[in-house]
Amino acid sequence: MNRKQFFLGIILASAVGALVALAGVNYLMKQNTASSFSQKQDTSLVNWLSDDKFVIPDGINFVASAEMVTPAVVHIKSNVSVDQSQMGADPFEEFFGFRNPNRGQQPREARSSGSGVIISEDGYIVTNNHVIENASRIDVSLEDNTRYTARVIGTDPTTDLALLKIEAKALPYVRFGDSDKVRVGEWVLAVGNPFDLTSTVTAGIISAKTRNIGILRDLENNLQIESFLQTDAVVNPGNSGGALVNLAGELIGINTAIASRTGTFNGYAFAIPSSIVKKVMDDLLEFGAVQRGLLGVQIRDVSPELEETLNEKLYTSKGVYVVDVNEGGGGADAGLKAGDVIIGVDGVETNNVAKLQEMVARKRPGDKVEVKYLRKGKEGKTTAMLKNISGDTKIVKKEPPKVLAFDGLTFEDVNTGVKQRLEIDGGAAIVSVENENWTKSGARAGFIITSIIGSNGRTKISGAENLIEVLKRNKGEEIVVLGLYPNGQEYYFEVKVD
């Protein structure tokens, strides 16, 4: 059995679909005064028992933890676009390559589901990126069946995490725990919505720590971080984004993947540790984007096989071998060299690549880390300043997109990541459609308009503001709207501009 067969059991709670609309312009600047979830969670003791009051009953009892956590684990349902076959030909299709809604079936909306965890009383929710990726609409249901429409604050594919927001107050939430203190053999609970079975709790133990299963490989310049907690608590499709908690009801991980030959639980599940989750959530809350501090080295696990390949003695059976050092990076500035073996960061042993990546992923550009290493068997220490992917220490904020309205429609600029993925250099995404004429013509939230064909010919759309200008120029006329969905499916429709 090969590695791919064993480890490609990720809980895909969502399919490729349409673009998430980020409404509420400047929300973070206007309404959010806390810059971290430690501050936000300290504002209330909702659904929480402090350390001095929480006592684990005699024997193993999961009731207290389950009762604390279950109300704060939500059911997430996403609308995604699914392509369908069509019949016949159309001159627009032949010339432009776009689907005509009047020939064959329109792209239909499918529903997919997963889980999420409320982490503040004012409605911030952590989930997996793959649960909400490319969704045109995100619905959130609480345990009491109260329902909300969520918007995306930010996502990080490199850790498979996303931060959502619903407009609510005084919500129950799960307090962050310390995944560093979790021990192998410790009892844990997994809470989520497997197979649409809401508010499901399962129990197990921590089977291992710092697991790298290669499930996020080849993402965004190979900056993916995998340092999973492994558990035997039962986790299945739909549990993605749900909570892994200790017996004190503290969040120690976000359930993300399973090792399976069948796609369902076979004994091992994997959760992103809270040490990474909290840092990513704080970054998305404060900046709208994750701030990645990089050591600037290419690395591999120390192993007998590596020694054999190198034909070199490494003087240790565990650690992280430095294959190469990037010129101008933090590691190079600190004096690290190819052939060094990193054995610790900030006083914590780094026995493998996963642990080293986890320790560095907690930092931001400009932060300093103490690195312990072996060089030809001799131990050394150095201090490295982490840099971003651009090679400097700047913190980059992601500004919320402008949301502009026109005649019952709202539009926003397409974010850089979506443009790069779809290989387009402009366009405007539909945020909402409350115009009956446009709805009947086939306009859908999430659709990206790239061109308009009117009486003056074809006009390329650079952004939301440009689109509204073009629509105003064509007021009262029939136009052809060309574009594509975030899954890459091209499409067009004809509509009269009122």
Full set of structural domains in the chain with CATH: 65-96+109-166 (2.40.10.10), 186-287 (2.40.10.10), 297-386 (2.30.42.10), 403-497 (2.30.42.10)
Q: What is the pLDDT of residue 261?
A: 77
SS3 151: strand
Helix intervals (H) in 57-152: 63-69, 91-96, 129-132
Which of 54-58, 156-160, 311-315, 464-468 is least confident?
54-58
Question: Residue 56: which residues within 8 A CB-CB, separation 6 or more?
Answer: 64, 247, 248
Q: What is the pLDDT of residue 303?
A: 94
Q: What is the pLDDT of residue 284?
A: 95
Distance CA 280, CA 227 (A): 14
Residue with tokens 């989750």: 277
Q: What is the mean pLDDT of residues 27-38?
A: 62
The tokens of 195 are what?
């197979």
Distance CA 304, CA 318 (A): 10
- State the catalytic residue, choosing from 139, 156, 160, 413: 160
Neighbours of 14 (CB within 10 A): 28
Which of 8-17, 220-229, 354-363 is least confident?
8-17
Bigger pLDDT: 264 or 182?
Answer: 182
Does position 6 have pLDDT exceeding 50, yes or no? no
Distance CA 363, CA 242 (A): 25
SS3 42: coil
Cα 233 to Cα 161, 169, 185, 246: the distances in Å are 21, 32, 12, 12
- State the catalytic residue, choosing from 75, 115, 122, 130: 130
Bigger pLDDT: 30 or 69?
Answer: 69
DSSP 210-247: EE--STTTT-TTTT----EEEE-S---TT-TT-EEE-T
Q: What is the mean pLDDT of residues 265-289?
A: 94
Distance CA 236, CA 245 (A): 16
- State the catalytic residue, choosing from 240, 260, 275, 451: 240
Q: What is the pLDDT of residue 218?
A: 66
Neighbours of 245 (CB within 10 A): 29
Q: What is the pLDDT of residue 50?
A: 41
Q: What is the pLDDT of residue 497?
A: 93
Q: What is the pLDDT of residue 278?
A: 97
Contact 470, 454 (CB under 8 A): yes
Confidence of residue 43 (pLDDT cuts 50, 70, 90): low
Over its C-alpha atoms, the chain yields an Rg (Å, rounded) of 25
Among this protein's residues, is 160 annotated catalytic?
yes
Confidence of residue 487 (pLDDT cuts 50, 70, 90): confident
Across the strands, what pairs with 370? 383
Which of 74-83, 85-94, 208-217, 232-241 is least confident?
85-94
Percentages (nearest 5) of helix, strand, coil residues in the chain: 20, 35, 45
Distance CA 383, CA 365 (A): 14
Contact 370, 383 (CB under 8 A): yes
Burial level of 160, CB count in 10 A (0-12/13-18/19+)? buried
- The 10s digit of each residue's pLDDT in 376-430 is 999 999 999 999 988 999 988 877 667 899 999 999 998 777 788 788 999 999 9
Q: What is the pLDDT of residue 401?
A: 66
Contact 160, 114 (CB under 8 A): no
Q: What is the mean pLDDT of residues 244-272?
A: 91
Does position 10 have pLDDT exceeding 50, yes or no? no
Q: What is the pLDDT of residue 184?
A: 97
DSSP type of residue 376: T
Distance CA 152, CA 166 (A): 9
| Backbone φ and ψ of 72, nearest 5° | -100, 5
The tokens of 233 are what?
């608590």
Among this protein's residues, is 136 annotated catalytic?
no
Q: What is the pLDDT of residue 416?
A: 76
Across the strands, what pairs with 301? 320
Across the strands, what pairs with 375? 378
- The 10s digit of each residue's pLDDT in 131-179 is 998 787 899 999 999 999 998 899 999 999 999 999 999 999 999 999 9
Distance CA 466, CA 280 (A): 34
Mean pLDDT of the chain: 84
- The 10s digit of each residue's pLDDT in 179-238 is 999 999 999 999 999 998 999 999 999 999 999 988 887 665 678 899 999 999 999 999
Distance CA 491, CA 83 (A): 10
Q: What is the pLDDT of residue 419?
A: 85
Bigger pLDDT: 95 or 320?
Answer: 320
Distance CA 158, CA 161 (A): 8
Report which of 194, 208, 350 is spatially closest to residue 270, judged by C-alpha positions.
208
Distance CA 129, CA 181 (A): 26
Q: What is the mean pLDDT of residues 443-458?
A: 91
Residue with tokens 């776009």: 98
Distance CA 228, CA 208 (A): 8
Binding residues for substrate: 130, 160, 238-240
Among this protein's residues, is 75 annotated catalytic?
no
Question: Residue 345: which residues within 8 A CB-CB, separation 6 or more?
Answer: 356, 359, 360, 369, 370, 371, 372
Q: What is the pLDDT of residue 259?
A: 84
Distance CA 282, CA 400 (A): 16
Binding residues: 130, 160, 238-240
Contact 458, 451 (CB under 8 A): yes
Report which of 160, 150, 151 is spatially closest to residue 129, judged by C-alpha positions.
160
